[in-house]
Amino acid sequence: MTQKERQQRSKEEIYQAALDEFGTLGYDRVNMERICGRHGISKGMMYHYYSNKDALFLLCVERTFADLKNHVERDMNELAGQSVLETIKSFFMSREYYFQLHPKQKMVFEDAMLRPPKHLVEQIQDLRAPIREVNRQFLRQLVARMSLRPEVDPKKAARYLESVDYFFQSAVRSYQDVSPEKDLHSMFETAEEMLDMVLFGILCQSEVRDASSSC
């Protein structure tokens, strides 16, 4: 084995250990000593490659974003033959499919996006840029296929869908019953119901204009 291969193996070993810890406990409860002690990594090797906990966390965030981006891109290529509504639903649930398969990455993603350490916010946003751009390109293409209301600008429609996607998974869980089924099929059905309201609203327009009118 060459020196480069040994170095790569060592870095991958450290990454897997860090992912296990951050993906199980979350950012706040992890430290370098715990990672080394629980995974048999010498402190010398650890600090040779990574100077502190933040560097390890950002490594996990970067790998999670990159893997998620690849997953979303693969899903996007398979959605071409679906209707607009089915495509939107599948797009919104694509991330959930990925996290069902990779629960530790899910913890890392939620720490980065929902509970980011304040001193790492800017770096996390930079790491997220590639997947954000993939989402935007896909949504722009999707909006071009939609029959929008005359007063709705396509760019605004794409921004709206992007903002909805950001919170959609957590909203689906909140919308489910008090004791919801945790399986993906149940979440998919809930997502379909929510998506109907997201796209078509909940208030009859006549209610806005005239409280005595019916839909």
Distance CA 192, CA 188 (A): 6
Residue 51: the pLDDT is 94
pLDDT of res. 175: 66
Average pLDDT, integer, range 180-197: 68
Banded pLDDT at 178 (limits 50, 70, 90): very low
Residue 138 or 66, more confident: 66
Whether pLDDT at 163 is above 90 = no
- Measured distance CA(185)–CA(2) in Å, rounded: 47
And the tokens for 100? 């069902």
Q: Which has more pLDDT, 48 or 141?
A: 48
Mean pLDDT of the region 6-11 = 94
| pLDDT above 70: residue 184 | no
pLDDT of residue 198 exceeding 70: yes
H-assigned helices in the chain: 3-25, 32-39, 43-49, 53-77, 84-101, 103-114, 121-144, 154-175, 184-200, 205-209
The pTM score is: 0.80
